[in-house]
């Protein structure tokens, strides 16, 4: 049996067509992956910035607690509390600006937790006076819980567990 003259030229055309389809699919897939990678990297940068600010805020809580306890007996402690309150306000504003900045990149669940933390952290510095120690310690615990929820939400959104099995979910912010 002999090959027909019409079949011979159509074979290279068919191979070329399949190669073109595979190339187009590969191009589309690479473009999508590049966009996903860029989005992931931007989210990671925002989450790192937010995590650092959360850590700074928690560090201020750690410093303010002992000062607040001394305020009942030490006159200088009241001045130190005013300085701490200013630092709380400054970092609180920085966190709020980061929340606004990250709003378009992060899922609604994380935005809700961020806004919840912002409302909670605004309670922190307002109670830095020797007459409000119980309220401060109650809010201190609440702020730490909200910060931990946020960090865990960041990890869930980035799918850290899927990236590495060795990255366990530690208890992030111990009460100090």
- Domain-embedded: residue 55: yes
**Cα 155 to the chain's mean position, in Å?**
8
Examine the pLDDT at 167 and tell me if it is beyond 60.
no
Please report how the helices 7-70 and 108-121 are oriented relative to each other, as an axis angle in degrees rounded to 10. 10
Longest dimension (CA), the chain: 108
Identify whether 171 is part of a domain: no
Domain contains 3: no
Is 123 within the bounds of a domain? yes
Q: 74: domain range? A: 43-163
CB of 84 within 8 A of CB of 128?
A: yes
Over the stretch 50-67, which tens digit does the pLDDT of each residue have? Answer: 999 999 999 988 888 888
What integer pLDDT is reported at residue 65 of this predicted model?
83
Give the count of domains, the chain. Answer: 1
137 belongs to a structural domain: yes
Q: pLDDT value at position 56?
A: 93
Classify residue 26: in a domain, yes or no: no
Residue 159 placed within a domain: yes
Strand, helix or coil for residue 134: helix
| pLDDT for residue 45 | 93
Q: How far is Cα 4 from Cα 63, in angstroms, rounded to an integer?
A: 89
Q: Residues 102, 121: contact at Cβ < 8 Å?
A: no
Residue 150 lies in a domain: yes
CATH of the domain at 159: 1.20.120
- Residue 46 has which token pair? 């925002």
Looking at the predicted structure, is the pLDDT value of residue 176 above 50? Answer: no
Residue 133, pLDDT score: 74
74-128 pLDDT tens trace: 778 878 888 888 888 888 889 889 888 888 888 999 999 988 888 887 755 555 5
């Amino acid at each position: 049996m002999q090959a027909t003259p019409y079949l011979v030229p159509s074979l290279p055309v068919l191979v070329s067509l399949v190669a073109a389809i595979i190339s187009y699919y590969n191009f589309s897939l690479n473009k999508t992956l590049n966009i996903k990678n860029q989005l992931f990297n931007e989210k990671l940068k925002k989450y790192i910035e937010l995590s650092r600010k959360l850590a700074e805020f928690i560090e201020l809580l750690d410093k303010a607690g002992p000062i607040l306890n001394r305020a009942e007996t030490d006159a200088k402690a009241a001045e130190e509390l005013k300085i701490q309150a200013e630092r709380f306000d400054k970092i609180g504003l920085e966190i709020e600006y980061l929340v606004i900045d990250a709003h378009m990149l992060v899922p609604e669940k994380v935005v809700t937790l961020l806004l919840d933390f912002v409302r909670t952290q605004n309670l922190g510095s307002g109670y830095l006076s020797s007459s409000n120690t119980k309220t401060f310690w109650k809010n201190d615990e609440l702020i730490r819980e909200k910060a931990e929820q946020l960090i865990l939400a960041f990890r869930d959104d980035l799918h850290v567990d899927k990236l590495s099995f060795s990255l366990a979910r530690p208890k992030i912010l111990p009460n100090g």
